[in-house]
């Protein structure tokens, strides 16, 4: 008999109270991301609604709606894909010779032809430790705040990396003619004459090369854009004279 009385007491304690029902309902609503303001409105009106607005926990753009009307869903089901574009990633490619100038946290400037008058500031977030064997480049992830949603996935951008490299002499990459074991640049001597020079190059900086030796400041070099069709004979003649002079020096 005593055992039966104890069981009855436990049953009374486990009996669901209105407060527990309300707390359980609020917990379930919060699991659906129903805001405190919406819950307070239900408590004030005491009127249930056939439909409720579920608000996204962050601002973004809807990419895909997997949920359909009438479909049963459970915890963990994917309902809507939303892309948060308030911060975007840009994967830039840098040549292996430029990797020594990069470090995480470094500030960079990004421009895009889609917005020619805008400049976007970002930071280097990740440097891929692997180099593409064909292109000799490594990918670098740059994080950029995008509060106005101007930068969109898929657009092309240019990354400007500003560093103080000191003073030095550079030439356009198109002015360098590789010949296997050495590099040659053509100096414009005036009067239609070109002088080949063996030059020693340093780091490649964008579309320019650092010149260690072989050229002096102020000398005019010929770039690929300056090679006109009627100038081919001048180039061949300059190379012929240069080869002959090199042969005489060896003898």
Q: Of 195, 193, 199, nearest to 176 (Cα)?
A: 199
Q: Of 76, 73, 36, nearest to 55 (Cα)?
A: 36
pLDDT in tens, 83-114: 888 899 999 998 887 888 889 999 999 999 99
pTM of this prediction? Answer: 0.51
pLDDT band at 244 (very low <50, low <70, confident <90, very high): low
Q: What pLDDT shows up at residue 81?
A: 84
Q: What pLDDT shows up at residue 229?
A: 37
Q: What pLDDT shows up at residue 228?
A: 45
Biggest CA-to-CA distance, the chain: 125
Residue 154 Rama label (left phi>0; alpha psi -120 to 50; beta): left
Q: What pLDDT shows up at residue 40?
A: 84
Q: Domain spanning 170-250 has what CATH number?
A: 2.40.420.20
| Cα 77 to Cα 20: distance, rounded to the nearest angstrom | 27
Angle (CA) 156 160 166, round 5° = 160
Instruction: Report how far apart the first and last C-alpha atoms of the chain are (Å, whole number).
Output: 125
Q: What percent of the chain has pLDDT over 70?
A: 80
Question: What length is written for the chain?
Answer: 251
The DSSP annotation for the chain comes to -HHHHHHHHHHHHTSPPHHHHHHHHHHHHHHTT--HHHHHHHHHH----S--PPPPSS--EEEEE---TT----TT---EEEE--SEEEEEEEEEGGGGGG--TT-EEEEEETTEEEEEEEEEEEEE-S---TTT-EEEEEEEEE-TT--S-TT---EEE------S--EEEGGG-EE-SSSEEEEEEEETTEEEEEEEEEEEEETTEEEEEES--TT--B--GGG--GGGHHHHHHHHHHHHHHHHHHH-
Say yes or no to pLDDT of 3 above 50.
no
Mean of pLDDT values over 155-183? 82
Range(s) for CATH 2.40.30.170 in the chain? Answer: 87-160
Domain 87-160 has CATH 2.40.30.170: yes
């Amino acid at each position: 008999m005593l055992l039966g009385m104890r069981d009855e007491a436990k049953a009374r304690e486990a009996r669901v109270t209105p407060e527990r029902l309300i707390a359980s309902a609020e917990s379930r609503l919060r699991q659906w991301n129903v805001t405190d303001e919406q819950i307070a409105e239900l408590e004030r009106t005491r009127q249930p609604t056939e439909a409720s607005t579920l608000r996204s926990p962050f601002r973004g753009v809807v990419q895909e709606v997997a949920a359909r009307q009438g479909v049963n869903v459970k915890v963990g089901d994917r309902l809507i894909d939303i892309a948060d574009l308030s911060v975007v990633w840009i994967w830039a490619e840098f040549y292996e010779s430029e990797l020594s100038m990069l470090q995480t946290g470094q500030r960079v400037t990004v421009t895009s032809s889609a917005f020619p008058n805008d400049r976007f500031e970002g930071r280097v977030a990740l440097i891929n430790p692997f180099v593409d064997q064909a292109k000799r480049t490594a990918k670098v992830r740059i994080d950029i705040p995008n509060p106005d949603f101007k930068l969109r996935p898929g657009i092309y951008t240019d990354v400007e990396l500003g560093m103080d490299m000191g003073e030095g002499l550079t030439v356009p990459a198109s002015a360098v003619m590789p010949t296997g074991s050495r590099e040659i640049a053509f100096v414009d001597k005036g009067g239609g004459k070109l002088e080949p020079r063996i030059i020693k190059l340093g780091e490649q900086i964008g579309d320019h090369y650092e010149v260690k030796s072989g050229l002096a400041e102020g000398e005019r070099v010929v770039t690929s854009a300056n090679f006109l069709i009627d100038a081919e004979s001048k180039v061949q003649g300059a190379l012929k004279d240069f080869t002959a002079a090199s042969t005489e020096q060896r003898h």
